[in-house]
């Protein structure tokens, strides 16, 4: 799984901490929202809302919103 996030974001931290606690393997992809990286055409294809965190699962599906992501990770 890939986690797109900004290290300064508490919502991104929640997702990262959940994955770490549950020992789920992931790749962290830093997206600097302060520098406008969530507003690029490439990122907006991932999440049209232009927000992090976003997770890309191994099946190619994307999921946004930290609480939804944490629940999905916890459910396996």
CATH code, 52 = 3.40.30.10
Strands 2-5 and 27-30: parallel
Low-confidence residues of the chain: pLDDT under 70: none
pLDDT of 76 reads 76
What domain range includes position 71? 2-75
Main-chain dihedrals φ then ψ at residue 22, nearest 5 degrees? -85, 5
> How far apart (Å, rounded) are the C-alpha atoms in residues 3 and 51?
12
> How far apart (Å, rounded) are the C-alpha atoms in residues 34 and 18?
24
Q: How many domains does the chain have?
A: 1
Cα–Cα nearest to 52, from 60, 61, 71, 62: 62
Q: What is the pTM of this model?
A: 0.94
What confidence tens digit (pLDDT) does each residue in 10-26 have?
Answer: 999 999 999 999 999 99
């Amino acid at each position: 799984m890939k986690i797109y996030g900004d290290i300064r974001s508490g919502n991104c931290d929640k997702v990262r901490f959940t994955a770490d606690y549950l020992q789920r393997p992931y790749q962290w992809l830093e997206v600097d929202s302060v520098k406008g990286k969530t507003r690029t055409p490439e990122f907006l294809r991932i999440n049209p809302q232009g927000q992090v965190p976003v997770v890309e699962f191994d099946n190619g599906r994307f999921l946004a919103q930290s609480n939804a992501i944490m629940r999905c990770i916890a459910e396996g």
